[in-house]
């Protein structure tokens, strides 16, 4: 039978800890399963202020949980050890409450044990209830990383927590953005003097802890371990993000809870990913997969587990607000199979203002468009509604070659429309000179070409690449003029490659002209030769 809580101690009661330091009790600010929590002050000459920084936890002297918690703080959580760990790991914060002292006291013939701690704020469970049973995905992953930091420290100091849950995560009293893992009443020294406890199942000690999050080892009566702590944390992350767990409806039957957890772990990662819409639990699934691979005595790779959760970063401050509908999970108990779902159902989401909107799924069809063909509704489905509501109107369709010039003019302005039609007609009719068009195109293409520029300011004499994408300066214009006057071969070669068929025709015309010139010259030479020959004959005759 559970023993009742201690009777309230007198107001302004003075306590003295083992270090002879005095503390003054204030009013009761909370009650737990075994003890009472008072506000406290180290100034015994004045009443305890409302915003004091200390609390005192009081239990009956013979109670085990507070004694276990005291031993944890005295062995593993000394303030100087925590500060040293933070420096070595380069951590700005580690969520372990500060222990200030402890001792024994007696009142009305009853002995009590007390412990002085930092005052903390509300617990995370109350925040989750206010949010409708869930937290944002980013918040859940941040909490997971914060708890990994704490667990790595206490595991390195031969202890496991064994009772991680939202009710034991407390927000900072003055800084709610900081979260502390509290209540080490069930903490266990898994590795005394560096020797790990051996794996041994004991059904008589099975199902210990908070049944929703108890590890499979604990269901079997095995002593708590590092693997068990991480498994419990994984269940917590899943519950906080999805708002449910597959075994919540059978909590009265610990064996069924154990079987449901074993099935979830065996079917990873699909069993976890299917618990939320849009695959929002992929990080938690990967986290539990990493825990599943651990041996009972094996040291976890905390950094690898952090990377699994940190994949959604970078992060800002801890956001404890209510998650949006799009992050809401489907209850694991009420989900139908895929064959029973209606194909007409559409996902529903909300914007930042809370307005509900139906998301229409569109499956695009991939088909290459031939030159001169306009895009169809299948290729541009987002225009289907607007085209159906507007009267049909003709609009010019630019080919791939025309796009080189037509995209420079905005088609929705009056002047732009005139210029666009003028350019199009000139391209089609052949009025626009090929040389001028090629020069403008070549100039535009060069603007997006990487240009090698020596960095004169660099004293080491190294060269750098600059992405030359700005409009040409006067120096560039001069460079262009020099390029076209001094490099006729390069110009002709590039022009031929660009204009393709048009330049091929010009080359043929040039070849025909050269042939005609050759014929004329040959005929002239022959005529000259005939005239000279006739002249010699006449001279000989006379």
Cα dihedral 412→413→419→423 (10° resolution) = -10
pLDDT at 220: 97
200-252, pLDDT tens digit by residue? 999 999 998 899 999 999 999 999 999 999 999 999 999 999 999 999 999 99
pLDDT at 517: 80
Per-residue pLDDT band at 417 (split at 50, 70, 90):
low
pLDDT at 381: 40
- Whether 382 has a pLDDT exceeding 70, the answer reads no
Cβ–Cβ under 8 Å, residues 17 and 103: yes
Q: Where are the domains of the chain?
A: 14-118, 121-327, 511-542
Rounded percentage of the chain residues whose pLDDT exceeds 90? 50
Q: Residue 122: what are its φ and ψ, rounded to 5°?
A: -70, 165
Q: Which residues are annotated as a binding site?
A: 57
- Intra-chain end-to-end CA distance of the chain, in Å: 159
Element (H, E) at 29: strand 22-31
pLDDT at 324: 73
Taking CA atoms, 444 is separated from 119, 427, 449, 485, 486, in Å, by 67, 18, 9, 18, 20
Across residues 463-472, what is the average pLDDT?
Answer: 39
Per-residue pLDDT band at 125 (split at 50, 70, 90):
very high
pLDDT at 512: 60
Query: What does the DSSP 8-state code read for residue 326?
Result: G
Cβ–Cβ under 8 Å, residues 222 and 201: yes
Q: Which ranges constitute the DSSP H helices of 59-165?
A: 64-76, 79-89, 124-130, 137-156
Query: Among 437-441, 459-463, 486-490, 526-530, which is the least confidently predicted range?
Result: 459-463
Query: Among 48-57, 173-182, 279-288, 454-463, which is the least confidently predicted range?
Result: 454-463
In whole numbers, what is the pLDDT of the chain averaged over residues?
75
pLDDT at 196: 96
Scanning the structure block, which residue is given the tokens 């900072």?
172
Active site residue ranges: 163
Question: From the DSSP assignment, how many helices (H) and strands (E) are in the chain?
Answer: 17, 13
Domain 14-118 has CATH 3.30.200.20: yes
Query: Among 24-28, 298-302, 470-474, 530-534, which is the least confidently predicted range?
Result: 470-474
Q: Between residues 532 and 507, which one has the greater pLDDT?
A: 532
Q: Which residues are annotated as a binding site for ATP?
A: 57
- Whether 144 has a pLDDT exceeding 50, the answer reads yes
pLDDT at 463: 39
pLDDT at 518: 84
Cβ–Cβ under 8 Å, residues 123 and 167: yes
User: Hey, how many other C-beta atoms are within 10 angstroms of the C-beta on 369?
Assistant: 11
Rounded percentage of the chain residues whose pLDDT exceeds 70? 63
121-327, what's its fold?
Transferase(Phosphotransferase); domain 1 (1.10.510)
Give all strands (DSSP E) within 307-400, no chain letters.
348-350, 356-358
- Whether 480 has a pLDDT exceeding 60, the answer reads no
User: Hey, how many other C-beta atoms are within 10 angstroms of the C-beta on 339?
Assistant: 5
Length of the chain: 542
Q: Which residues contact 15 (CB under 8 A, 6 or more apart)?
A: 22, 23, 24, 25, 56, 103, 105, 114
Nearest 5°: the CA angle 184, 170, 213 is 60
CA distance 212 to 194: 31
pTM for this model (two decimals): 0.61
258-313, pLDDT tens digit by residue? 999 999 999 999 999 998 766 678 999 999 999 999 999 999 999 999 999 987 56
Nearest 5°: the CA angle 356, 339, 281 is 55
Across residues 46-55, what is the average pLDDT?
Answer: 94
Question: Which long-range contacts link 305-311 to residues 24+ away (Cβ below 8 Å)?
Answer: 305/148, 305/230, 306/145, 306/148, 308/283, 309/141, 309/144, 309/145, 309/148, 309/283, 310/141, 310/145, 311/283
The string of DSSP codes covering 450-465 is: -EEEE-TT-TT--EEE
Copy the structure tokens of residue 202. 């004991």
pLDDT at 316: 81
16-44, pLDDT tens digit by residue? 999 999 999 999 998 877 889 999 999 99
395-413, pLDDT tens digit by residue? 444 443 344 444 444 444 5
Copy the structure tokens of residue 36. 């009472």
- Whether 113 has a pLDDT exceeding 90, the answer reads yes
Across residues 496-520, what is the average pLDDT?
Answer: 61
CA distance 19 to 394: 92
Give all strands (DSSP E) within 407-515, no chain letters.
451-454, 463-466
Residue 293 has, within 13 A of its CA and on its CB side, a CA count of: 10
pLDDT at 237: 97
- Whether 420 has a pLDDT exceeding 70, the answer reads no
Across residues 442-466, what is the average pLDDT?
Answer: 40
């Amino acid at each position: 039978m559970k023993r009742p809580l201690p009777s309230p101690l007198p107001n302004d009661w003075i306590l003295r800890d083992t270090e002879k330091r005095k503390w003054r009790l204030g009013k009761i600010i909370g009650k737990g399963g075994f003890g009472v929590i008072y506000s406290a002050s180290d100034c015994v000459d004045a009443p305890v202020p409302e915003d004091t920084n200390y609390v005192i936890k009081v239990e009956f002297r013979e109670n085990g949980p507070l004694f276990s918690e005291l031993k944890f703080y005295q062995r593993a959580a000394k303030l100087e050890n925590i500060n040293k760990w933070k420096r070595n790991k380069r951590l700005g914060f580690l969520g372990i409450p500060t222990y200030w002292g402890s001792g024994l006291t007696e009142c009305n013939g009853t002995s009590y044990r007390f412990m002085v701690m930092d005052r903390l704020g509300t617990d995370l469970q109350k925040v989750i209830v206010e949010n409708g049973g869930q937290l944002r995905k980013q918040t859940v992953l941040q909490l997971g990383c914060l708890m990994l930091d704490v667990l790595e420290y206490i595991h390195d100091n031969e202890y496991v927590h064994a009772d991680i849950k939202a009710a034991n995560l407390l927000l900072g009293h003055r800084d709610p953005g900081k979260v502390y893992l509290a209540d080490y009443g069930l903490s266990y020294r898994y590795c005394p003097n560096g020797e790990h406890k051996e794996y041994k199942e004991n059904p008589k000690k099975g199902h210990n802890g908070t049944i929703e999050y108890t590890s499979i080892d604990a269901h079997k009566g095995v002593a708590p371990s590092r693997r068990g702590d991480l498994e419990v944390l994984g269940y917590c992350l899943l519950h906080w993000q999805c708002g449910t767990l597959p075994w919540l409806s059978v909590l009265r039957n610990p064996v069924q809870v154990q079987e449901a957890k074993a099935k979830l772990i065996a079917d990873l990662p699909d069993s976890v990913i299917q618990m939320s819409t849009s695959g929002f639990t992929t990080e938690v699934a990967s986290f539990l997969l990493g825990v599943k691979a651990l041996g009972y005595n094996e040291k976890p790779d905390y950094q690898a587990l952090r990377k699994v959760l940190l994949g959604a970063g970078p992060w800002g401050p801890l956001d404890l607000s209510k998650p949006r509908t799009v992050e809401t999970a489907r209850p694991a108990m009420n989900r139908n199979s895929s064959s029973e779902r209606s194909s007409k159902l559409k996902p529903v989401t909300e914007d930042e203002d809370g307005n509900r909107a139906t998301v229409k799924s569109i499956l695009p069809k991939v088909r290459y468009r031939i030159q001169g063909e306009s895009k169809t509704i299948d290729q541009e489905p987002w225009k289907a509604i607007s085209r159906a509501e507007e009267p049909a109107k003709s609009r010019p369709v630019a080919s791939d070659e025309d796009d080189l010039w037509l995209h420079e003019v905005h088609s929705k302005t009056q002047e732009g429309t005139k210029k666009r039609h003028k350019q199009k007609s000139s391209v089609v009719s052949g009025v626009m000179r090929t040389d001028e068009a090629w020069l403008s195109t070549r100039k535009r293409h060069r603007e997006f070409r990487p240009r090698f520029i020596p960095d004169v300011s660099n004293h080491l004499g190294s060269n750098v690449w600059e992405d030359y994408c700005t409009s040409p300066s006067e120096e560039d214009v001069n460079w262009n003029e020099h390029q076209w006057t001094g490099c006729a071969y390069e110009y002709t070669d590039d022009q031929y490659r660009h204009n393709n068929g048009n330049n091929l025709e010009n080359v043929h015309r040039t070849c025909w002209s050269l042939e005609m010139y050759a014929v004329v010259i040959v005929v002239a030479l022959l005529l000259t030769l005939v005239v000279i020959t006739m002249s010699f004959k006449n001279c000989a005759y006379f």
